[in-house]
Structure 1
Amino acid sequence: MTNTDPSDIKGVYDRRAEDYDAARSRAFFEARWLSRFADSLPEGARVLDVGCGAGEPIAGWLIREGYNVTGADFSDAMLAIARERFPNGDWRLADMRSLDLDDRFHGIIGWDSFFHLTPDEQRQTIPRLARHLLPDGVLVVTVGPIASERIGSVGGEPVYHASLSVGEYAALLESADMRLTGFMAEDPYCNFHTVLMARKTKETRP
């Protein structure tokens, strides 16, 4: 276990928004997974970037590729940067743990965001994300390679990370009418991120 308080993650990003944005890699190591995600979407698809942060590089790339992007984040400071960067964008203050939008999407991506949730929060959030996907919709999130809790850093402040096992993710997805379609632990071509991909198989049960 870690002594880092998971409930302070919002505070860290609010305090360190500009530092995080300045340090965020623009090398676009995410390209292969983003291309795979995009290849699974219809033209002009509606995409939710959950934990969008300051809008670059993920939301920005999707916007430039012609997708209808909604960015959601719980940090006012991060969203302020995104709104300045993309003033015509759809930026919403929202926490994925209580996500309840009127919209549904062809794709949802949670890059470097979902893994900040505790294990129990992840278990509760997967069906919530599934309910925001249209049938045949695609989910991509970054997680950890094994069930674990770890400490990362944002702007020099420690931040909490957690992951379930791939087997538990597969079971949770199945119970939410989704199917695991991809999992790569510590992908060396993606800056050693662990990436999970799933597809909505049918209308989610109420």
Structure 2
Amino acid sequence: MSVDPKDIHAVYERQATEYDKRRSKALFEARWLARFTASLMPGDHVLDLGCGTGDPIARWFMAEGFAVTGVDFAEAMLAIARDRWPDGDWRHADMRVFELDQQFDGIIAWNSFFHLTADEQKDCIARMSRHLRSAGMLMLTVGPRAGEVSGTVGSELVYHASLSPADYATCLEENGLQMTGFLAEDPETQSHTILMARKI
């Protein structure tokens, strides 16, 4: 693996405008977002962890009537979100160490969680569980199998990592969460691998 996970923050700062330009706004994620919110009610509070520019994921939640808190470590990404939705709750924090003084009805980390190393992902799952209310929902995009690969943001390579599905299930259970869905390389979501869980 030639891509350094420590470079990810700088890449997103440099590539924010280009990333936003290239990011699909067609909401190919809508089927999974609807499944994620099936047990939630409008007005419930969703944490978008690694929210980027807020478009299209946070935008979808806001349009559906949910209260959204967006967290990202790249100020350049948040600047775009704040420009679009100046009244939004956009917070600068790193998902590896974030500590918020509240719990959420749902947490989503779409195209962000997989930038963490395997050990950081385990720590982050514990952190996310602490920020979820009882029966709260969690949805992550991960890899289809254990390993490290590279992806792209704008014109630059970035680090991706994943545990195995079995290791995710174990880590979730150790943190009071139960896996409720896992689909590898879903052809309807541009081959994303999606994991869903509920806090027990």
Q: TM-score, normalised by structure 2?
A: 0.99
Structure 1 residue identity aligned to 2:73: F
Q: Partner residue of 1:15?
A: 14
Structure 1 unaligned residues grouped into runs of 5+: 202-206
**Are the aligned partners of 2:42 and 2:64 in contact in 1 as well (CA < 8 Å)?**
no
The 5-angstrom pairing of residues 107-126 of structure 1 reads: 107-126=106-125
Q: Partner residue of 1:151?
A: 150
The 5-angstrom pairing of residues 162-201 of structure 1 reads: 162-201=161-200
How far, CA to CA, are the matches of 2:165 and 2:197 in structure 1? Answer: 12
Displacement of 1:86 in angstroms is 0.6
Matched, 1:100 2:99: yes
Q: Partner residue of 1:204?
A: none
Query: Could you give the per-residue CA deviations for residues 150-195 of structure 1, whole angstroms, max 9, x where no partner exists?
Result: 0011111000000000000000000100000000000011111000
Q: Partner residue of 2:45?
A: 46
Displacement of 1:123 in angstroms is 1.1
How far, CA to CA, are the matches of 2:27 and 2:42 in structure 1? Answer: 22
Q: Structure 1 vs Structure 2: percent identity of aligned residues? A: 58
How far, CA to CA, are the matches of 2:42 and 2:22 in structure 1? Answer: 32
How far, CA to CA, are the matches of 1:177 and 1:84 in structure 2? Answer: 37
Q: Partner residue of 2:140?
A: 141
How far, CA to CA, are the matches of 2:122 and 2:80 in structure 1? Answer: 30
**RMSD of aligned alpha carbons:** 0.6
**Number of equivalenced pairs:** 200
How far, CA to CA, are the matches of 1:177 and 1:42 in structure 2? Answer: 22
Displacement of 1:42 in angstroms is 2.5
Structure 1 residue identity aligned to 2:172: L
Displacement of 1:43 in angstroms is 2.8
Displacement of 1:103 in angstroms is 1.2
Poorly superposed stretches of 4+, deviation over 4 Å: none
Q: TM-score, normalised by structure 1?
A: 0.96
